[in-house]
Amino acid sequence: MEKLYEGKAKVLYPEGEDTLRVYFKDEATAFNAQKRGVIPGKGVVNNKVSAALFRYLEAHGIRTHFLKELSDREMEVRRVAILPLEVILRFRAAGSFAKRYGLAEGAPLKAPLVEFSLKNDALGDPLICPEAVLALGLATEAELATLKATTLRVGELLKGFFAERSLELVDFKLEFGKKDGEILLADEISPDTMRLWDTKTGEPMDKDRFRKDLGGVEEAYQEVLRRVLGGA
């Protein structure tokens, strides 16, 4: 079947008229694709973790593009027009945020923080303030409010979901799409797009193991899948 789009971690194929098939690859990139590698089995983990989380969120009132799992590495989703924004929720300072403000990795925040980045690889996904989103016409004021409120609610739900599985959700990135005027949660939610720390050991169980060459990358992804599917 002809590809519709191939990204760094996923390939999109046309499925039905209003649906797409998403294929999750094992290829991994970091630091705006300057670092590349393969994490064997990652595609299967990310497909299954994303599917489980989309189902969990749907069951708790969040509208998503997810329809069903098609295979170990593939899911069917609704076709949406992806907004050119990455919405990040932070419970603690980590990664680029900790670096930007000179904070220790894991420094606490007074309250969960929502940030927006412009989805543009050539520009390195720069941070963008809500006023610039409005000035550039990337979203309306009502849409921005929906993105922020939905992201905070998703954060609350996922924080609890992972806490029951001895994982601390430190931060994550969401993407949203529009279909018939409605905003749906889209893309993926996986160890590629979240920071998850083991509650007992504090060990990162996500893509930071790849970014920072910590070793045990495959094992960490498998363990996250095991805990997500295994329940509390």
Q: Which residue ranges make up the site for ligand UDP (CB under 6 A)?
A: 86, 88, 94-97, 125, 171-173, 193-195, 207
Question: Which H helix or E strand runs over 174?
Answer: strand 167-179
Least distance to ligand UDP from the beta carbon of 164, Å?
20
Q: Which own/partner pairs from 40-45 qualify as long-range (CB within 8 Å, at least 24 positions apart)?
A: 40/218, 41/218, 41/221, 41/222, 42/9, 42/192, 42/218, 42/221, 43/9, 43/73, 44/72, 44/73, 44/225, 45/190, 45/191, 45/221, 45/222, 45/224, 45/225
Report the SS3 class of residue 49: helix
Least distance to ligand UDP from the beta carbon of 187, Å?
9
Spatial separation of the C-alpha atoms in residues 112 and 170, rounded to whole Å = 10
The residue assigned the tokens 């193991």 is: 209
CB 62, CB 42: distance < 8 Å: no
Nearer to ligand UDP, 6 or 141 (CB): 6
Least distance to ligand UDP from the beta carbon of 147, Å?
15
Spatial separation of the C-alpha atoms in residues 72 and 51, rounded to whole Å = 10
Nearer to ligand UDP, 95 or 106 (CB): 95
Least distance to ligand UDP from the beta carbon of 171, Å?
4
Nearer to ligand UDP, 62 or 103 (CB): 103
Nearer to ligand UDP, 11 or 190 (CB): 190
Nearer to ligand UDP, 2 or 34 (CB): 34
Least distance to ligand UDP from the beta carbon of 87, Å?
9
Spatial separation of the C-alpha atoms in residues 164 and 49, rounded to whole Å = 15
Alpha carbon 147 to its chain's center: 14
Spatial separation of the C-alpha atoms in residues 58 and 62, rounded to whole Å = 5
Nearer to ligand UDP, 15 or 210 (CB): 210
Least distance to ligand UDP from the beta carbon of 215, Å?
18
Encoded tokens for 224: 């996250």
Indicate the residue whose CB is closest to ligand UDP.
95
